Amino acid sequence: MNGDIRKSVIAGSWYPGNPKVLRADIENFFHNLTEEKVKGRIIGLIAPHAGYMYSGQVAAYAYKLVRGATFDAVIIVGPSHRVSFRGVSVYNKGGYETPLGVVPVDAALAEKIMTRSSVTSCIPSAHTQEHSVEIQLPFLQVALGEFSFVPFVMGDQDRQTCEDLAEAIFKAIGNQNVLIIGSSDLSHFHPYEKAVKMDAVVLAHIERMDAQGLLEDMGNNVCEACGGGPAAVTMMVAKKIGADRVKVLKYDNSGDVTGDRTSVVGYTSAVLYASETSMVKDQGHNGVGDDTGLSEAEKKVLLDIAKKTIECRLSARDVPEFHVDSARLGEKGGAFVTLKKHGQLRGCIGYIEAIKPLYKAIEEMAIASAFNDPRFPPLRREEFEHLAIEISALTPLKEIKGINDIEVGIHGIYIVKGFYSGLLLPQVASEHKWDRLTFIEETCHKAGLPPQAWKDKDTKIYIFSADIFSDKD
């Protein structure tokens, strides 16, 4: 190490130390591949970590897919080969240096993940000689250009450790566009035929995004993966973010490269992504909020009630008496109705607490949002055809003692201090790309309070989530 910059320990051996040669080699790996794309948003990659002469061409299948893409950050998870330690180590400062330059560590994101994980700490010695993270960086430097990243090295790869790290990463990244990479080779030093058979088990688990099955079969010695834990974490995080598709891009082993099949090491590359279908499904609420158990049919009923209520009022007709067959819609529930015109807010009012049957709350709040929001003039008839109706069915309020419990993209905030109160829905923070601190300060502003009022002892902070859906979904 030189200060906070981790110097390369494998340049000149595992990959070329000359930057021109290194870049040319990676470009050549890319050139050898036919152009391939996936239809959707790439969230995760699994790539090997052997020397480039053995696994570089396999890794290129994954990295060519993200060439020219932009991510808020990259997270690389690799196994520890050199140092024995418990849990997971994150390198949370400075950067990693390769012949192609220094890749800065996203220290803020590293800290967020570490504070949410019970198994993660900073153990500098775990990174000093470790190659599983560094080997991925030159490919990323050629594919992405400038980027920041967070490097993890796993000392333990058991199920509990993987689940803890995956959950911490998911909670910390919030609404950021992050690429997560699992650094993993497959079986080690078996005859060719046995290696192919064992590796097929790993590939089957990856294709099903079956992290638990992979860890179980590794524990029972059915298969091997030197980095099975990082691969499992990648699958877990990608699935939480929204990945619903996996494609194994390439499988080879060292015997395919050298011709020596007596004792081989297996390599694979894979991509995990959210398909276009799932992306369209989520566009209505930007992937924020939570599921409150409403069926699609029940959501449609509520949207129809809101739309018919507003239309009747605009036409000077009596609002009909709505009857619902669903017991769920007859239960008391908090809810907001948000109106937008050409993507801009046109009204938003709701019941914070469950004081009315849900369908009745929607009826009343549709009228209030359209005609009684003091920020806007009453809705006019000519605006109706341009209106988008969004409903937020709220979960019960939960008082919290500190803002670390707030998850941007999941929670809304309700602040109360004396006679002052203010609420912001979960989607507001995501739409404005606020972090947690900005979100709480903006909620204070909404309440008519100073930005730091949330710190006062007599301020009560509540969180809630919401099932968010729109007639434009």
Residue 242: pLDDT band (50, 70, 90) is confident
- Greatest pairwise CA separation for the chain in angstroms: 85
CATH of the domain at 362: 3.30.700.20
Report DSSP letters for 70-91, one per residue. Answer: --SEEEEEEE-SS---SSEEE-
Residue 284: pLDDT band (50, 70, 90) is very low
Looking at 265, 280, 295, the residue that finishes a domain is 280
Is pLDDT at 473 greater than 70 in this prediction? no
What percent of the chain shows pLDDT beyond 70?
96
DSSP lists the bridge partners of residue 65 as: none
Look at residue 214 and give its three-state secondary structure: helix
Distance (Å, whole) CA 349 – CA 7: 55
pLDDT score for 40: 87
Residues 314, 190 within the same domain:
no
Q: Let me know if 286 is exposed, middle or buried by CB neighbors in 10 A (0-12, 13-18, 19+).
A: middle
Residues 253, 387 within the same domain:
no
Is pLDDT at 443 greater than 60 in this prediction? yes
Is pLDDT at 15 greater than 80 in this prediction? yes
Is pLDDT at 445 greater than 80 in this prediction? yes
**Contact residues for 454 (Cβ-Cβ < 8 A; gap 6+):** 403, 415, 440, 441, 443, 444, 461
SS3 content of the chain, % helix, strand, coil (to 5): 40, 25, 35
Looking at 229, 248, 280, the residue that finishes a domain is 280
CA distances to 114, 173, 266 from 167, rounded to whole Å, are 11, 10, 29
Residues 149, 292 within the same domain:
no
Looking at 280, 296, 327, the residue that finishes a domain is 280
pLDDT digits (tens, 9 = 90+) for 30-89: 999 987 788 889 999 999 999 999 999 999 999 999 999 999 999 999 999 999 999 999
In terms of pLDDT, which residue wins out, 173 or 137?
Answer: 137
Residues 391, 269 within the same domain:
no
pTM for the structure as a whole = 0.63
| Torsion from C-alpha of 95, 96, 102, 103, nearest 10 degrees | -70
Is pLDDT at 346 greater than 80 in this prediction? yes
* Amino acid in the structure at residue 105: V
Residues 93, 211 within the same domain:
yes
Residues 170, 315 within the same domain:
no
* Amino acid in the structure at residue 60: A
Residues 194, 320 within the same domain:
no
Residues 321, 435 within the same domain:
yes
Contact 156, 84 (CB under 8 A): no
Residues 253, 173 within the same domain:
yes
pLDDT score for 120: 96
Mean pLDDT score, 281-299: 65
Domain residues for the domain of 188 are: 5-280
Return the structure tokens found at 13: 């051996």
Residues 257, 293 within the same domain:
no
> Which of these, 151, 152, 146, lies nearest to 103 by C-alpha position?
146
Residues 301, 269 within the same domain:
no
Average pLDDT, the chain: 92
Q: Under the phi-then-psi rule, with left for phi > 0, alpha for psi from -120 to 50, and beta for the rest, what region is 90?
A: beta
Distance (Å, whole) CA 14 – CA 99: 12
